[in-house]
Structure formats: structure tokens, C-alpha cells
Amino acid sequence: MYKVLRDRPIIGRLIITVSVLTMAVGMTAFAVSGGASAAARSTNHGKSGSITIALIPGITSDPFYITMENGAYAEAKLLGVNLVVLGSSTAFSPETQIPIVNAEFARKPSALVIAPTDAVALYAPMQRYSKAHIPVISVDTTLANTSFLTSRITSGNTNGGELAADTLALLCHDKGDVLIMSTNAGSSTVDDRMTGFTAEMKKYPGMKQLATEFDNDSPTQASTLTQSAILANPTLCGIFGLNSASGAGVGAGIQAAGKKGSVFAVGYDAEPAEVASLKGGVLSGLIAQSPALEGALGVEYAYDAVTGQTSLIKKSVSLNNHSINSTNVNQKSTQVFFYSATVHTDGVKA
């Protein structure tokens, strides 16, 4: 290429370079638009085709939110509306979520269903939709000021924390030390789970709650902290892993310390890996939420709001959690609570 160019006058070289550049940009754009049809998770079911609902989960690579997406897709298919799912695949953070919320606003969807990654930072970007008469519904997490929200849907997190405390008390026969392995504080769900757990634990006088550990959402970090906690506290009986990453790390840590069966781990959520750990005895209990129902209800309320059927919408919905343990994990009635790791845009559950 250089040789060819060397024999030409400079203007000729410039023209060749610019055309090569244009081709490269064009090809990138083509790849991107080709990628759009392949990778964009959107559906068009025709019937009420003019309605497009945007779903922005906290992070798109997590089975909890994938299960939520699947529930939303199934409902969108039922109602015949378009569903667009957008979000960061790498970080659960307002820094990555807000640019996406701002960008989607330029497309003016009919309604927004969103799991805000921060109770305060997302207020202004979400309120902008509401000011433009686009209904906004929060799922899973919510805002500190919920005044403009059409509805907020969550799985009761305080209740989930309580359920975890009861499960650990049962496993420990009401005596011994327990601790919480938390991700990082700050989101409403995390705080509520810790509050629920701590309050419920007070009901068991034989049990002592140790200082909470923070693993920054890293299973490896949780595993290291778990092993240290086991070494430091010989009377440690149980650990509550506050989310799926913490739960997985706690399970691995207990196994590495050789305490499987004597120190019990209760995890949160019911991701495929967690369910496998429960079946293998690494985890002793799981608190499963209802992400699919959250997603489906979010889309349903969005549809109701857009079509003016506001009487069907409840302002605040708190869904129940489900305790999964070694005795009920193989029952069919329990399996509907398992999360999925793959997206089914056609609304068909694998």
C-alpha cells in the first residue's frame, strides 16, 4: 500500500487515504447496524406496534435482570407491544446508567420501566421523562423521592432479610454467631436486606451478629473474607450472603476452609449457579425474589398507563420472596422461582 502511494502525488495520496478512511467508517457503521439487528434485544409483535416500552435494568449481564427481561418480553408478547432493553453490561452504577437513560430519552419511548442504580442520582434523568408525559415505573430498586413515578414494584427486601435470619436461626438451632457478607452499601435493596436481617436476628437471644463484611460485589473477595471470618470466630455458625456474588463467595470460602456442613451459608437470589451450589450442599439456603413477575408487571403497568387504564395500576407493589432449601429444591413448585441466565426475547421460558 505504501509503495503504491509513494509513486503518486501528494493530493492523490490524500484522496486515497480519505477514501480508505470513509470505507472503514462505513464498514464500522455497517457492522454496528448489522449488530443492531443481531444483538439489540428488542421485539416487535405488531398488534399494538406503535407502543414502545423501554426497560433499563441495573445491569444486563446478571441473571436476576435477565430473568426480569424474560418476564418483560413474555408480557410484551402477550400485550403486543414493542420492548427495548438497554443497559450497561459491565457495571451496576449511576455513572454508566445515566448516559443510557439520557440517550433513550432522545428516542421518546411510550413508557420507561427502570431499575435505578442510585436512589438520588437518577431522579433528574428519570423526572425528565415524566415532564415529557412519558410514564415512569421503577422495578427492583427505586428512588428516594417517588412522587412522579406511575408505580414502583419490588420484591420485599426487608422481608427477604428477615427470611434469611429465620433460615440461619433454624440451621444453627438458635445459637452461635452470624454475620452479613454485604456487597457495598448505598442502594435501597442492600440497606433494606441488612435492616430486615438485623432486626429479625434480635429475636434470637442465643445468637450474636458480628460486624458486617463488605466484598465490593466480588465473589473472590467474599471467599477470602469468609475464610478469615471462620478463622477469627470459632463459634461462627452462619453467614448471610447479601446478593448472588456474595453468596457464591461465601459458599466457596466455607468449602475452602473445610467447614462445609458446620458453617451454614444462606444466599440471596436463585441464579443457576446458586441453585447448583444448594443442590451440592455448598449453600444451605436461598432467598429467591420474583424478578420475572417484576418485569412482567412493569410492562403491564406501562401498557395500562399508555392506554389510559390508570385504574388498573397500583402505586406500590411489594412481591413476596421464597425460601429455597435442601428439602424443597427438587420440588416442581419451587423450580418456577429459579432464575435464568439466557435471554428469551420471544417470551418462551426454557
Q: Select from 234, 280, 285, 282 the least CA-distant residue to 256.
A: 282
Helix, strand, coil abundance in the chain, percent, nearest 5: 45, 20, 35
Do 257 and 34 form a contact (C-beta atoms < 8 A)? no
How far is Cα 339 from Cα 224, in angstroms, rounded to an integer? 26
Greatest CA span in the chain, whole angstroms?
Answer: 89
Task: Give me the least distance between CB of 89 and other proteins, in Å please.
Answer: 5
From candidates 62, 69, 75, 104, binder to other proteins by CB under 8 A: 104
Task: Give me the least distance between CB of 103 and other proteins, in Å please.
Answer: 4
Angle at 128 between CA 124 and CA 130, to 5 degrees: 115
Length of the chain: 350
Do 112 and 136 form a contact (C-beta atoms < 8 A)? yes
Binding segment (CB under 8 A) for other proteins, from list 102-110, 203-211, 244-252, 320-328: 102-110
How far is Cα 22 from Cα 302, in angstroms, rounded to an integer? 42
**Count of residues engaged in binding other proteins, rule: CB under 8 A:** 56
Task: Say whether residue 102 binds other proteins (CB under 8 A).
Answer: yes
CA 325 to chain CA mean position, Å? 22
Footprint of other proteins on residues 181-220 (CB under 8 A)? 184-186, 214
How far is Cα 260 from Cα 175, in angstroms, rounded to an integer? 18
Nearer to other proteins among residue 105 and residue 148 (C-beta): 105
Task: Say whether residue 118 binds other proteins (CB under 8 A).
Answer: yes
Task: Say whether residue 108 binds other proteins (CB under 8 A).
Answer: yes
Binding segment (CB under 8 A) for other proteins, from list 70-78, 88-96, 162-170, 197-205: 88-96
From candidates 78, 80, 100, 170, binder to other proteins by CB under 8 A: 100
Task: Give me the least distance between CB of 185 and other proteins, in Å please.
Answer: 5
Task: Say whether residue 329 binds other proteins (CB under 8 A).
Answer: no
Q: Applying CB under 8 A, which residues contact other proteins? A: 2, 5-6, 9-11, 13-14, 17-18, 21-22, 24-26, 28-29, 32-33, 35-36, 39-42, 60, 84, 86-91, 93-96, 98-100, 102-108, 118, 120-121, 123-124, 184-186, 214
